[in-house]
A and B are shown apart, each in its own frame.
Chain A
Amino acid sequence: MTNCVCEVHGLTKFYGNFKAVDSVSFCVREGEIFGFLGPNGAGKTTTVRMLTGLTRISGGTARIFGYDVVRDGRKVKGLIGLVPDTSNLYSELTCWDNLIFHGEMHGVPRRLRAERAEELLELFDLRRFRNVKFRNLSKGLKRRLTIAAALMHGPKLLFLDEPTLGLDVLSRRRVWGLIRKLNREGLTIFLTTHNIYEAFELCDRIAVINKGRIVAIGTPAELRSRFSATRVIEVSFSPSRGPLRELAVMDGVMGLEGSGGRVKLIVQDSLAALEALTNYARRHGLSVESISLRGADAEEVFLNIIGGGSG
């Protein structure tokens, strides 16, 4: 694990009696985009806050570029950048002043500060908004400037917490493009998201977190292949469907959704499931109006991982 730029062992966070993060361990490798994927409230942001010094650690250790995040907090802060889940730069300052302030606070020399701010305005296509106050920017522009501000001091590891939350499709694509570009230029990125497509689209490796625990970790391909045998059967019954609990207990059924006469089953053994479905229809005097069988998509893989706790 020599190329681990962020090494976390047994990281734990308690809020009172509630365990928000439960013995999380992982390694972020140099140069990769590491995804931290999980539903709302899974512990993603708390983990990032612990790593960046915004929240105290209850247990475990975390080292960034070899520095302990608690003991060597100031050194760590000089090496990382954080883009929080809300774009919270200073509303009455212009884009330029916001960037310069971040450069000043990180000790970037005066001449380099201006150069760096110019470069970032160019890179993020914000040059024409240079003298516009932050509060007057659109949501997408605010997001871009918040990312730019986190890069003013040239961090080696960038934490992006839900970078595209609340953005429209165009702005989201644009931010994705920027993340890829920054990564191609050598920046290691730690990205938290609840968006499965974003994680699968951008990340080299993904850790899936649910209820404070990491339930799976691997490349997008590895996570998919772990569930490659998973199939989805969608079936419509007439006149209506029978009791769902009978379907839920069938062998190999991993997930189940029912709505009206329609049922979606996530299964491991599709042949056995089809046979059981036929018996179920006969038993309840139902006819099958339509039926389809397909592989699980990314979202279904994700739901299986967090639901089944595999990994």
Chain B
Amino acid sequence: MRSLLMHAYYIAKKDLKEYYMKPGTISWGLLFPVVFTAAFLIKRGVYSAWVAPGLLALSVFFSSTSMTGSSIVFERRFGSFERLLLFPMRLIAVALGKSLGGTLFGLISSVISMTVIYLMTGATPTHPGLLAATVILTAVQASAFGALLAFLVRDPSNIMTTFNLVRLPMIFLSGIIVPVTQLPLVLKPVAYALPLTYSAELMRYAYLGQSGMPPALSATVIVLQAVAFLLLTDYIIRKSIP
């Protein structure tokens, strides 16, 4: 187990060194979430206090998925991904390492977004410990989701387009801008199937002390989704060996 975690850590460390300055990572992982957050918070009031936690979840989600996606796509395109398969380790270390890199990048982004939120709304969390835990859980879940998506994309050159096809609708369907309870009936099942919905709800609870679904349920779903995404990524990596 220790060896597995060490391998994952080394992969994550290498990814951060290599990909955190890539244009796609910076623009979609840092700039977009911060600008988006600032744009929604510019008008102060009750709505900005309500929307802010969801925007934090969105920032973490975009940052983590962008970082993981970039690292996998570049390595697949230039053939260096296969090098990871040559090391004497359990293959799941690759999925874990790639996700850990995205998680760390998501945490960096969360600090920036929380600062923006504080400066623009003065909002502080009701449950700071839960907020920290939620940020970490969201980053892990989003990274694993990004890794899975990156392996499912056949043409790596279209990765950000594909990512945004999946991510951008989530902004409107995950209860970030409009509460899930107010969505049309036909869209509600879609909202409950999206990973970002549960992060937004849990962050809202951590900030405001109330949310649209029980915090324990949100936390459980986030953890289960993170595990499922990791296992699926591992499965796809194994299947990709010709």
Contact = CB atoms under 8 A, between A and B. Distances in A.
B19 A105 contact: no
Nearest to B79: A88
Contacts of B78: 88, 91
A54 B14 contact: no
| Band of interface residues on B | 20 to 34
Contact of A101 (B10, B74, B89): B10
Interface string A52-91: 1111100000000000000000110110001010101111
Interface in B39-87: 74-75, 78-80, 82-87
A291 B105 CA distance: 73
Interface in B7-23: 7, 10-11, 14, 17-19, 21
B87 A105 contact: yes
B169 interface: no
A104 B83 contact: no
B216 interface: no
B26 to A, nearest CB: 13
Interface in A135-191: none
A78 B88 contact: yes
Contacts of A53: 85-86
B241 interface: yes
B18 A54 contact: no
B83 A93 contact: no
Given A53-B85, A74-B89, A84-B79, A90 B242 contact: no
A285 interface: no
A99 to B, nearest CB: 12
Nearest to B11: A105
A92 interface: yes
A55 B86 CA distance: 11
B83 A88 contact: yes
Given A75-B88, A78-B88, A89 B80 contact: yes
Given A104-B10, A107-B3, A90 B18 contact: yes
A204 interface: no
Interface in B204-242: 241-242
Interface of B: 3, 6-7, 10-11, 14, 17-19, 21, 74-75, 78-80, 82-90, 241-242
26 contacts: A54-B82, A54-B86, A56-B241, A56-B242, A74-B88, A74-B89, A75-B88, A77-B87, A82-B86, A84-B82, A88-B78, A88-B83, A90-B18, A91-B18, A91-B80, A92-B17, A93-B18, A97-B14, A101-B10, A104-B6, A105-B7, A105-B87, A106-B88, A107-B3, A107-B6, A107-B88
Nearest 6 interchain pairs by C-beta: A77-B88, A78-B88, A92-B18, A105-B87, A88-B79, A104-B10
